[in-house]
């Protein structure tokens, strides 16, 4: 009797493994064809059967990244790391999601965490180098923006003072100290304005790693369990399909 139960259990396990393997193979084929949303569905079906399979989470993370769903890509990557802490691919997937959202400091920290466990992994080494280069470009761009706004505002201040001196009978800045204040304050205002704009841009980028509620309307999925539960609902992926179509329509 025990042998019969054991045989039935083994058969069910084999069937489940075959189903998961089939879903994974279909999803991989869909990924190669560029059908990323369909691939997400297939990976999710596999995860529903084997919720502790790190490869499925890693692959689904890549699929989410392909459709610019950085939050879900990040969550699946984090689950991959939790399931297999010493697998470099999990850190690579997480870093890629953070890098796509231009959160380079986070990506660098992630790659470095992976390299502490896998110090010779070529994929992580290359990604770390790339993230550092991109971060330096962002820093250079921000410095250029600050400098440009500061100079522009300073020029405006100078023109105001020169124009004011040109017609002394209508002068607003009759005293030298007033002109000095104008010449000093305008560049500072330009610098502060540029800093505000850059801060706003950084906030918008950081939001990309937050849950996108508009994609989950009508879905019962828990944000905190994305990547740890079984799979995404059909309604969720349908909403993602609709959102993706609207983005494509806007870009045309």
The predicted pLDDT at position 40 comes to 93
Give, in order, the Cα–Cα distances in Å from 16 to each of 4, 9, 42, 58, 241.
18, 11, 14, 20, 28
Q: What is the pLDDT of residue 235?
A: 52
User: What pLDDT, on a 0 to 100 scale, did the predictor assign at position 183?
Assistant: 81
Integer angstrom CA distances of residue 171 from 92, 162, 183, 236 = 63, 10, 15, 65
Is residue 63 domain-resident?
A: yes
In a domain, 182, yes or no: no
Separate counts of helices (H) and strands (E) for the chain: 9, 0
**Which pLDDT value is given to residue 146?**
93
**Residue 117 lies inside a defined structural domain of this protein:** no
Contact 95, 107 (CB under 8 A): yes
Position 192 scores a pLDDT of 93
Q: What is the CATH number of the domain that holds 30?
A: 1.25.40.10
Which distant-in-sequence residues (6+ apart) come within 8 Å of 130 by Cβ?
Answer: 99
The verdict on residue 16 lying in a domain is yes
Q: Is residue 118 part of a domain?
A: no
pLDDT of residue 222: 47
What is the model's pLDDT at position 229? 45
Give the count of domains, the chain. Answer: 1
Task: Identify which of 60, 73, 58 has the alpha carbon closest to the alpha carbon of residue 208.
Answer: 73
Distance CA 18, CA 5 (A): 20
CA 16 to mean position of chain CA atoms: 33
Query: Is residue 36 situated within a structural domain?
Result: yes
Domain that holds residue 18: 2-101+212-251
Q: How many residues does the chain have?
A: 252
Which tokens sit at 196? 């505000």
Question: CA 175 to CA 185: how far, in whole Å?
Answer: 16
Residue 103 DSSP one-character state: -
pTM as predicted: 0.73
Burial group, residue 241, by CB count within 10 angstroms (0-12, 13-18, 19+): middle
Residue 139 lies in a domain: no
What pLDDT shows up at residue 78?
A: 96
- Cα(76)–Cα(30) distance, integer angstroms: 19
pLDDT tens, per residue, the chain with 252 residues: 454 444 334 435 566 677 777 888 899 999 999 999 999 999 999 998 899 999 999 999 999 999 999 999 999 999 999 999 999 999 999 999 999 999 999 999 999 999 999 999 999 999 999 999 999 999 999 999 999 999 999 898 888 777 767 766 666 666 676 777 888 888 999 999 999 998 888 887 878 888 766 554 444 444 444 444 444 544 555 555 555 444 434 434
């Amino acid at each position: 009797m025990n042998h019969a139960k054991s045989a039935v259990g083994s058969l069910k396990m084999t069937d489940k493994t075959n189903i998961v393997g089939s879903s994974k193979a279909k999803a991989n084929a869909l990924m190669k064809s560029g059908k990323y949303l369909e691939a997400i569905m297939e990976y999710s079906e596999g995860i529903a059967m084997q919720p502790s399979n790190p490869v499925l989470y890693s692959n689904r993370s890549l699929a989410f990244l392909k459709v610019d769903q950085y939050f879900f890509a990040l969550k699946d990557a984090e689950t991959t790391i939790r399931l297999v802490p010493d697998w470099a691919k999990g850190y690579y997937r997480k870093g890629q999601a953070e890098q796509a959202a231009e959160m380079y400091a986070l990506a660098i920290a992630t790659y470095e965490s992976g390299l502490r466990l896998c110090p010779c992994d070529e994929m992580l080494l290359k990604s770390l180098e790339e993230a550092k280069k991109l971060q330096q470009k962002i820093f250079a761009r921000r410095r250029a923006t600050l400098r440009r706004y500061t100079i522009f505002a300073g020029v405006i201040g100078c023109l105001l003072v020169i124009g004011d001196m040109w017609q002394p009978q209508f002068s607003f800045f009759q005293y030298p100290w007033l002109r000095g204040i104008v010449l000093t304050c305008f560049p500072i205002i330009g610098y502060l304005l540029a800093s505000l704009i850059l801060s706003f841009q950084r906030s918008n980028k950081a939001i990309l790693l937050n849950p996108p509620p508009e994609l989950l309307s009508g879905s019962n999925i828990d944000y905190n369990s994305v990547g740890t539960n079984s799979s995404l609902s059909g309604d969720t992926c349908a909403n993602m399909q609709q959102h993706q179509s609207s983005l494509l329509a806007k870009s045309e």
